[in-house]
Structure 1
Amino acid sequence: MGSIFTTFIKCRIGAMILFNKLIILLSRIVPRKKMTVIIEQGILQGQYFKTRLSNKSYVRFLGIPYAKPPIQDLRFKSPVKHPGWSGVFKAFSEGNMCMQLDVFMTKRIIGSEDCLYLNIFMPQEELDNEKKAVMVFIHGGAFSCGSGTLDFYSPDYLIDENVIVVTINYRLNVLGFLNFGIDECSGNMGLKDQLFALKWIKTNISAFGGDANNITIFGESAGSASVHYHLLSPQSTGMFHKAIMQSGCVFNPWAFNENHKKAAFKLAEHMGCQKDDPKEIVQYLLNVPATDLVKFSTLKLKFEGQRDILNFQFVPTVESDAVNEKFLPAHPEILMKTASPVPIISGLNDLEGMIIFADHHKPSQILEYHKTDKIRRLFESSYTDEVINKIRDFYFDNHSLMNETTKLENTCHMLSDVFFIKDFYRGFNHLLKNGQTQVYNYEFKFNGELNACKKLMFATRPNISSLKGACHADELNYLFYGQLFGFLPKLDSPEFRMCRTMCKLWCNFAKTGNPNSSDLSFIWNNTSTDDPKYLILDGDNTRMVDGLIVSSRTHFWENITKLAQLKQKL
């Protein structure tokens, strides 16, 4: 019966996707009013649309190339300026997504190397000639998958607040982060793509009615870690004026790799290259099909002793002294001391670790995390038995007396802390200690009908989907309309009000650096080291709370980190 139900749910989700794809295709046939703008590259033409909730008019410019296609000899190089076009560029459809494994559906390699495109969404309010605040969204996906697609990130709700929104694609995985320490393959190409897009936006956004001196970057998961990297990189200084970080920072274990050379040479060896000179290796890899590189780096590149979960080899790295234009010239710990002093919103969801449950197809696998050997494999560092036992006892003391729901909740809390929360506070403390004074913290814990990540991934596992709270990425559907699934909040529902509240906070912040306004029923106060506080985003129960998010767990991990460091020195 269970397998029949699972098959039914999967077929239902598949049918929903196909139906919404058909609706999207039909909408493209409808004749639409056009708008033309002139930028440095040439003439662009966009199309008028209406927002889903408020029926406000806006213009879409889709699939704008912001750099030359990174193909052939440009495969591993920093982005290069696009030469432009003759005639009118009809920006009516999205550009290619960057090459990646389709983790959601087919499990095949999809996308293209020719993928450096961005989308611009421009509100059209009558009698409004003022330059508008600009919000640039950087998608997540562990630096390995994802894109700025309308399927997940249609910014209807944000446009209702009268801001310009830009979504971007950037190179991923081995094509975006392979690092041989030379200019031909320097590493961090994906982050340099993002920076190149920001420079393009700063140069051209005034043609779309945007204010080049009021740009906010925001992102979720790897997109949030990317925002953090831009705060640290000397090259990004002045390219943006505010930052929003949602569930990711540079110190998360999946967001930075100190052992990138090992992965780079292992990849070359597997591809049949027996050379030792990095320049010769890179020249060899330029002739390997991109699909082979992505497939191996995603599915087969493993090392003994690595952690079991969220282990990605091709992610941001420190660049070699031999590289001329370094995005990340030193370790993030060092660069934190000179981070850009801009206003920041940063926060987490209360059940971040639930996303990891999706990798375990058998319920019994999730319930094994109380075992010491299972806990040990969450870490790459060689924690002693004493440290591992303290972690086990903190989350699973009296394990035999717990019911299944409590076991799942505690497992989720442990995974949330290991892969998101403990490192979030590390980055957060660095920001405050180094002079960031305008920092607003939040915890998103709304358990609503638009929590798509939890609902879709665990549709056949009610013991997990029934846990109260928000999974990793669940906040996104309150900021964006995901047209692939067609989830819209019902008017005057708690979901509708949560959506309106979040978008107002985010857009107020983008406009002024302060998320508050008189039409909100609460005041979001900024935090500090001496007086920590945060906003709980929980629908109609949204409220301010004094202290740190999950303070007891945060303090536990501070002590565990100190103990682990002490034991390693002995």
Structure 2
Amino acid sequence: MTSNGDNSVVVNTTSGRVRGQTIHVLDTSVDQFLNIPFAEPPVGALRFAKPVPIQKPFDGIMDGTKMGNACPQRASQYSSNTYVEDEDCLVLNIWTPNMGNNSSSKQTSLKPVMFWIYGGGLATGSISKFNGGPLATHDIVFVAANYRLGPLGFLYGGREDAPGNQGFYDQLLALKWVRDNIHAFGGDRDEITIFGGSAGSWSISAHILSPLSKGLFKRAIMQSGAHLYNKDRDVITKSEALAQAKGLAKQLKCSESEDWLEFLRKVDAKELVKYANPTNFPLVGTEYLPLPTQQALQDKLYYSDIDLMAGCLSNEGSVLSRGILPAKDDLTLDDFKTSVNIVNQIFKDIDVQKVVNYYVKNGDTSSSLALRRGFYDFFGDIIMKMPTFLFAKQFATNGRNNGKNVYFYELTFQSKSFAEMYKCNDEISGIGHGMEIPFVFGVPFIPGQQMPFTDTERQFSRDVMKMWTNFAKYGTPDPNWPQLLSDENVPKVKNLNPNPSVQVFDDPYATIYNEFWKDYYL
């Protein structure tokens, strides 16, 4: 790494030399590098294929001061985006504590690395939404990598050049690039923590389960999400995925005589993503994920030699229900049942009447508010709370004697500014899905952001950043945070709140699991 007087910093990588810049965050200097390619552009014959490492380093110096392309994607139902989209999108961003000129005799010790995977249902999202500067001020190196989305990232062709889970292969190649290059940015390749939110958290669970990712990271943080659903069948099977892919080609007017996959390789990417599903799911029975999650956990065929931190939010279902539950004020029981049936089409084997009986409080099926609240609770439980907790608990149970740490949290604090950002500032939306992310990323301290924050919110963000980065450094987020199975009979869940009424919840999901979900997941 060489520094120049104009705040620019040049680093040599396997992709070529890249020029970043020194920026100032939280009264500290941080070096920022944007838009570094880690793979050949996945275009032409490489569309739907595994990513290919950079074949020849860039000749000259790459400009790492501007954001790169986002991967082509459908419009998000949860937020607007202003991404510049292009298939040439396999790039990563890095923020690292300012090292100055490393040609000096003073040797700086390598820092732990935090590798972020964004969410968006494996259908939307981009690294450009995540500024790693505030986290990098905590003496870690932050990396975030783009991965392909929707059909470009998860279409299954049933053959080697369209293996399914391409987006996970992208994440894997980025992780390997980090291991090969991060020392040049002051990072320690043997101290990598992978972390992600929502579908990024699904991705983390996939890397824990995949034999291909084994040994590439030391710790993991799962923020709301795990690939763990109906124990009797996965969300999507290979035959269903293949039928979906062929159906997409037919929708786009592929003739019977054409090779449907080659046809799809020639369709304009913008046209392709118009037909994308709002959510994609990991595909098992593949090279990347050979086994269903339940079997992998039961047979202990996963990467267990890591510390794990996981968690969820009090009201996961409020934000996530928006694409399913009608937005009207006068919600009816029929609306509720129709929405549960939509969820059943995805996850299968859900008894609609049992959901009504259990989740609509006091049986008040004539109350629009009770129906909405009940659906929020049901959907949050099935898609986020139960999978994340049960994955972490089973991981901890299996590894009780291996010396690895497992922690779990529930965020119970709502920031007024974040509630407005996530449209959760109504009577019942509460602490909605994703609302921990701005605290984790130190949004109150990002230069130029316009939202008002209270002193409590700003301090809480500092505390959360410290917990997350402490976990990356030491495997322990906070000395007062008990491990999930520190009492093997009563799981301990940290109440993540700046002013908690109780510090730790004792097995908070036991009742709902035992009364409703016990036979569904494991």
Q: TM-score range by the shorter chain?
A: 0.7 to 0.9
Shift of 1:177: 0.6
Q: Could you give the per-residue CA deviations for residues 299-337 of structure 1, whole angstroms, max 9, x where no partner exists?
A: xxxxxxxxxxxx63x4321255xxxxx222232333332
Q: Residues 542 and 213 of structure 1: is their aligned pair in 2 closer, same or farther, counting only changes over 3 Å?
A: farther
The residue type equivalent to 1:446 in the other structure is F
1:558 and 2:521 correspond = no
Distance in 1 between residues matched to 2:440 and 2:99, nearest whole Å? 20
Give the match's secondary structure for 1:167: strand
Question: Given that residues 358 and 458 in structure 1 are in contact (C-alpha distance below 8 angstroms), is that contact kept between their aligned partners in structure 2?
Answer: no
Give the match's secondary structure for 1:539: coil
Question: Given that residues 101 and 109 in structure 1 are in contact (C-alpha distance below 8 angstroms), is that contact kept between their aligned partners in structure 2?
Answer: no
What is the aligned partner in structure 2 of residue 47 from structure 1?
Answer: 21
Distance in 1 between residues matched to 2:376 and 2:448, nearest whole Å? 26
What is the aligned partner in structure 2 of residue 160 from structure 1?
Answer: 137
Q: Residues 357 and 183 of structure 1: is their aligned pair in 2 closer, same or farther, counting only changes over 3 Å?
A: closer
What is the aligned partner in structure 1 of residue 224 from structure 2?
Answer: 247
What is the aligned partner in structure 2 of residue 495 from structure 1?
Answer: 457
Q: Residues 399 and 377 of structure 1: is their aligned pair in 2 closer, same or farther, counting only changes over 3 Å?
A: same
Shift of 1:170: 0.2
Kindly report which structure 2 residues correspond to 1:363-374, keeping only aligned pairs within 5 A, or say none: 363-364=328-329, 368=333, 371-374=336-339
How many corresponding residue pairs? 496
- Any unmatched runs of 5+ in structure 2? 101-105
1:348 and 2:312 correspond = yes
Kindly report which structure 2 residues correspond to 1:34-113, keeping only aligned pairs within 5 A, or say none: 34-51=8-25, 54-82=26-54, 83-103=56-76, 111-113=85-87
Q: Could you give the per-residue CA deviations for residues 402-431 of structure 1, whole angstroms, max 9, x where no partner exists?
A: 876555433321221122222223323431
The residue type equivalent to 2:423 in the other structure is F
Q: Could you give the per-residue CA deviations for residues 252-296 of structure 1, whole angstroms, max 9, x where no partner exists?
A: 58995223122112112212234489xx32222211212221112
What is the aligned partner in structure 1 of residue 288 from structure 2?
Answer: 327
Which of 265, 284, 291 aligns to 1:318? It is 284
Kindly report which structure 2 residues correspond to 1:144-543, keeping only aligned pairs within 5 A, or say none: 144-149=123-128, 152-252=129-229, 256-258=235-237, 259-275=240-256, 280-298=259-277, 312=279, 314-320=280-286, 326-336=287-297, 337-341=300-304, 342-359=306-323, 362-364=327-329, 368=333, 371-380=336-345, 383=349, 387-400=351-364, 406-435=370-399, 437-451=404-418, 454-458=419-423, 465-467=426-428, 469-481=430-442, 486=449, 490=453, 493-517=455-479, 522-527=480-485, 529-541=488-500, 543=502
The residue type equivalent to 1:272 in the other structure is K
Distance in 1 between residues matched to 2:33 and 2:500, nearest whole Å? 37
Question: Given that residues 490 and 507 in structure 2 are in contact (C-alpha distance below 8 angstroms), is that contact kept between their aligned partners in structure 1?
Answer: no
Q: Residues 485 and 106 of structure 1: is their aligned pair in 2 closer, same or farther, counting only changes over 3 Å?
A: same
Give the match's secondary structure for 2:127: coil
Shift of 1:545: 2.2
Distance in 1 between residues matched to 2:168 and 2:116, nearest whole Å? 13
Distance in 2 between residues matched to 1:474 and 1:367, nearest whole Å? 28
Q: Could you give the per-residue CA deviations for residues 173-227 of structure 1, whole angstroms, max 9, x where no partner exists?
A: 1000111121110101100000000000000000000011100000000000100
The residue type equivalent to 2:250 in the other structure is E
Give the match's secondary structure for 1:81: coil
Greater share of helix residues, 1 or 2?
Answer: 1
Instruction: After superposing the two structures, state which structure 1 stretch, 41-50 or 374-383, moved more.
Output: 374-383
The residue type equivalent to 1:142 in the other structure is G
Distance in 2 between residues matched to 1:417 and 1:141, nearest whole Å? 18
Distance in 2 between residues matched to 1:411 and 1:499, nearest whole Å? 30
What is the aligned partner in structure 2 of residue 138 from structure 1?
Answer: 117
Shift of 1:159: 1.9
Instruction: After superposing the two structures, state which structure 1 stretch, 551-560 or 230-239, moved more.
Output: 551-560
The residue type equivalent to 2:10 in the other structure is T
Distance in 1 between residues matched to 2:154 and 2:452, nearest whole Å? 38
What is the aligned partner in structure 2 of residue 118 from structure 1?
Answer: 92
Shift of 1:510: 0.1
Distance in 2 between residues matched to 1:273 and 1:105, nearest whole Å? 33
CA RMSD of aligned residues (A): 3.0
Distance in 2 between residues matched to 1:76 and 1:497, nearest whole Å? 44
Question: Given that residues 495 and 505 in structure 2 are in contact (C-alpha distance below 8 angstroms), is that contact kept between their aligned partners in structure 1?
Answer: no
The residue type equivalent to 1:73 in the other structure is A
The residue type equivalent to 2:352 in the other structure is I
Distance in 1 between residues matched to 2:396 and 2:450, nearest whole Å? 37
Instruction: After superposing the two structures, state which structure 1 stretch, 534-543 or 498-507, moved more.
Output: 534-543
Give the match's secondary structure for 1:291: helix
Question: Given that residues 225 and 383 in structure 2 are in contact (C-alpha distance below 8 angstroms), is that contact kept between their aligned partners in structure 1?
Answer: no
The residue type equivalent to 1:59 in the other structure is D
Shift of 1:251: 1.7
Shift of 1:373: 4.3
The residue type equivalent to 1:112 in the other structure is D
Give the match's secondary structure for 2:316: coil
The residue type equivalent to 1:354 in the other structure is S
Instruction: After superposing the two structures, state which structure 1 stretch, 252-261 or 159-168, moved more.
Output: 252-261
Give the match's secondary structure for 1:446: coil
Distance in 2 between residues matched to 1:485 and 1:49, nearest whole Å? 13
Q: Residues 366 and 198 of structure 1: is their aligned pair in 2 closer, same or farther, counting only changes over 3 Å?
A: farther
Question: Given that residues 204 and 221 in structure 2 are in contact (C-alpha distance below 8 angstroms), is that contact kept between their aligned partners in structure 1?
Answer: yes
Give the match's secondary structure for 2:520: helix
1:549 and 2:522 correspond = no
Instruction: After superposing the two structures, state which structure 1 stretch, 104-113 or 80-89, moved more.
Output: 104-113
Q: Residues 316 and 357 of structure 1: is their aligned pair in 2 closer, same or farther, counting only changes over 3 Å?
A: closer
